[in-house]
Structure 1
């Protein structure tokens, strides 16, 4: 997931009492929100408004974007770079509703301690929101943000906390939706599937999600192949995956690889062995695979040709991305950290689109972490130019998808690599709510 996006373990429901437990989660979320809002109100009464940056219309609004960079595993430098380009772009146009936008950035280094430090820095700097960011360590970064009353808008969706915290406002369904959707996409195509995923706690949550999708058309659960997330080669692992998928009786075996940055490393090993298994299909999710990766590995003659790919958003060549591309052309031309086809860059663009509409909705009022939260919690309806369904995070929009109450966008897209290009294979978006609710 150029996104190298792996989710931590989620707890799944047993068949008995699922509805009751989901209801209890919603009650807890409501109580948590009330507690946070109450604390913020008390602070405001003492003259200590969290995230306040002034009350005039020409105030500077300070936000933060974080992501890992220069690590041995997941790297998302395009997200902070896109955030900074967005700030230059809106400021050159007079700001957002007259407010200058200031973007702070932080590198979480794929480390829980560093992630918490980024969150504490956001609190120390009194940012009004953390926007368009990536970190696997939701538990570590959400606690400081909740204590400071800072909303987390448009995270990448790789941690449980992004879909449970009342201060999180996700714009996509996260890795969970991608895996459930990929299973749905493969269901009916693959009688035997091998899932190649990291041998980490975050990778442990992936098999149940894929299996829930595969069950849609009674495909058997995937064979779970755990591999090192930082290996420099996967020859033996590729052999195991091909042997597993190649044993499908009708020649309709599939290999789904979800290794983030290391997905290309796996497929490099995979392509050397695939000639012995020509009927095996391949699959992945957007972020582990994107158009740039496909181009760089041979296009139509590379290992991804024919691969089934599940994403959150329209294909990278969709005209709905034109405003983002125009912004990047004006403010980030030549910045090789930014790939317009990268799901992280796209998520950051969408997250800042949300922020802009929130600030505009406040009119002449002060832009603070508290006023931003209130606007979102009251049900502000945000549109993203068709890149997502209309988004709203009011409590009546809480999701019935089991462990993901804050998931307000359960839609994914089904794509396939044809002639070296990622193309949509199904018109419109696919709702994976019911599949997520069934994940065990």
Structure 2
């Protein structure tokens, strides 16, 4: 057990749970498993790790409450968390000087606040990278995205990737974020994408599954190009219809498994991710920790992007605390070390991470992106596997989306 004269390190991990929109219960569950593991092995540089968790509820009030609780309970960092409500949680953290380390990358504030240290390129890198992934294979592209302020940025990002190879760009189809059916949007998307050389892309978070359920049920007579029918063979390409695609977080391995794997709608789909495929050897340390410390908690799925992001975020925290070598760790020490150029090796799960001014991408709206890498994946035999090996740098593509 952790012990000795060194003071405990208290952090918080929050995420929404049991809401109508996107839920990420695996993130706080992974944080708790990480704490059990690290404390059973002497803590972080001798510090006991105390993890507070909070249900952010997918609301501004919930995010604000979690942030205020982190301040009240003496957290020195918020680590590996998910919230779309950056405008609600960043201000309380900034006022208390608490760094936000390795958030999921879903809110703009994560890429603008000087106290945010993202470990991935967020939705901006995913969507811009997805355009680059689709450009080589899809003649017509339809983008179904949330009809929200954040969603309004997605067409420019996707088109920045598409147009780098001369593509005309995608048809923009806004959709209600928490709808129970998307028949109208699915019909428009299939029509605008065209036939077998087209792609229908949906970036709706947890509601992406609902969209593709509506898409699969479209009657054949509505599709003059011969698209997907409601009968389906599970290939995602019945009768030479448009191919489907998405990004990590909207489509991931748990969703593919729940919807039939190789016989489900996502077989053959293109997916852009932040990290290596789930069976990459670089994930083995995380898998071992989950197996030994999550105690069959089915929320902690090693193929889930939220769980993976939380593991990487806590890796950053651990390396930082070890580098300080102090008996007492403060929020200021952590943020100062990050600002001064602490370089974090994540074992191949990301490029080496560093948050000096010179390392920031500086893209309008996303200035604090330091990890510009994405991975191109495809669903084959029910598994997300690499479409091409290694990371793809999409920094210039993200920059061009604002030009």
Partner residue in 2 for 1:343: 305
Q: Which range moves more in the overlay, 96-105 or 389-398?
A: 389-398
Specify the alignment match of 2:232 in structure 1.
none
**Superposed displacement of residue 237, structure 1:** 2.0
2:265 maps to which of 300, 303, 317? 303
Contact 1:401 1:434 survives alignment (8 Å): no
Report the RMSD for the aligned CA atoms in angstroms. Answer: 1.4
User: Is 1:224 paired with 2:169?
Assistant: no
Corresponding residue number in structure 2 for 1:422: 384
Whether 1:233 and 2:193 are equivalent positions in the alignment is no
Gaps of 5+ in 2: 219-227, 230-237
Structure number with higher relative contact order (C-alpha < 8 Å, ≥ 6 residues apart): 1
Q: TM-score, normalised by structure 2?
A: 0.92
Select 2:200's aligned residue among 252, 255, 258. Answer: 255
Whole-angstrom distance in 1 between the partners of 2:366 and 2:393: 14
Structure 1 residue 365: Cα displacement: 4.4
Decide which of 322, 326, 334 is 2:296's aligned counterpart.
334
Structure 1 position 130 matched with structure 2 position 78: yes
Deviation by residue 1:342-378 (Cα, 9 ceiling, x = unmatched)? 1111000000000000000011342110111111111
Q: Is the contact between residue 176 and residue 209 of structure 1 (CA under 8 Å) also seen in structure 2?
A: yes
Q: Are 1:174 and 2:136 matched, yes or no?
A: no
TM-fit CA distance, 1:419: 1.8
TM value normalised by structure 1: 0.84
User: Which residue among 300, 321, 339 is the counterpart of 1:359?
Assistant: 321
Shift of 1:57: 4.7
Aligned residues: 382
Alignment of 1:337-416 (within 5 A): 337-416=299-378
Q: Is 1:139 paired with 2:87?
A: yes
Distance 1:135 1:323 in 2: 26
Indicate which of 322, 346, 350 corresponds to 2:284.
322
Aligned residue for 1:80, secondary structure, equals helix
State the secondary structure of the residue aligned to 2:240.
Answer: coil
Instruction: Please say if 1:77 is aligned against 2:25.
Output: yes
Task: Decide whether the 8 Å contact of 1:57 with 1:364 is kept in 2.
Answer: no
> How many angstroms does 1:201 deviate by?
2.0
SS of aligned partner of 2:164: helix
Q: Could you tell me how far 1:334 is from its partner in structure 2?
A: 1.6
8 Å CA contact retained: 1:63, 1:131: yes
Check conservation: 1:64, 1:105, Cα contact below 8 A. yes
Once residues 233 and 241 of structure 1 are traced to their aligned partners in structure 2, the CA distance between those partners, rounded to angstroms, is 14
Deviation at 1:277, TM superposition (A): 5.3
Structure 1 position 403, deviation (Å): 2.9
Q: Answer yes or no: is the 8 Å Cα contact 1:310–1:413 preserved in 2.
A: yes
- Does the 8 Å contact 1:57/1:366 carry over to 2? no
Contact kept, 8 Å, 1:82 with 1:349, in 2: the verdict is: yes
How far apart in 1 are the matches of 2:314 and 2:391? 22
Unaligned 5+ segments in structure 1 are 1-55
Residue equivalent to 2:223: none
